[in-house]
Amino acid sequence: MKADVKKHIGRQQDKKWKQYNENLQKFSVSNDFIGLASTYQEMANFVKNEGKDNTHLLDLAYEMKLKFQTNLLNEYKKSNVVTEVEIIATDNSCEACMQLNGNIFPINEALLKKLLPVKNCSHKYGCRCVYVPIVD
């Protein structure tokens, strides 16, 4: 590869990483755990495409999604209206996520088992399952 092309690619990668870092700062300030998770997932995919280990970034994406899901369940619990949640997977979810699709759990069980996000999800963007509240 010519030196000019390598330099151009390097500048494009630098711009991409700068944008990732700006997004991380913005989402951190606003406690936007889904924004953080999405950014870490994108970073993990970027690193993987470069042939590098992306495990740490995937772990960070998972942890941010877990915080979001835990906060959501706690809000449902505090409402004293929602007693159970149903897990809904997307149409193109991985097999691990599809196995949970449609299952209903009491909120305390969902909190205890940390069902979402699915840790072993194999989708490119990670687990995209959601809890849907069930009201008595």
> Which residues fall within 8 angstroms of residue 73, CB to CB, at 6 or more apart?
85, 107, 110, 111, 131
Tens-place pLDDT, residues 55-99? 999 999 999 999 999 999 999 999 999 999 999 999 999 999 999
Domain span including residue 23: 3-135
Element (H, E) at 11: helix 3-29
pLDDT for residue 5 = 41
In this prediction the pTM is 0.86
Q: Rounded CA gap, 115 and 106, in Å?
A: 12
Tens-place pLDDT, residues 121-133? 999 889 999 999 9
Q: Find tokens 């619990």 and name the residue.
A: 77
Q: Supply 123's token pair.
A: 């989708």
- Amino acid letter for position 29: V
Q: How many domains does the structure of the chain reveal?
A: 1
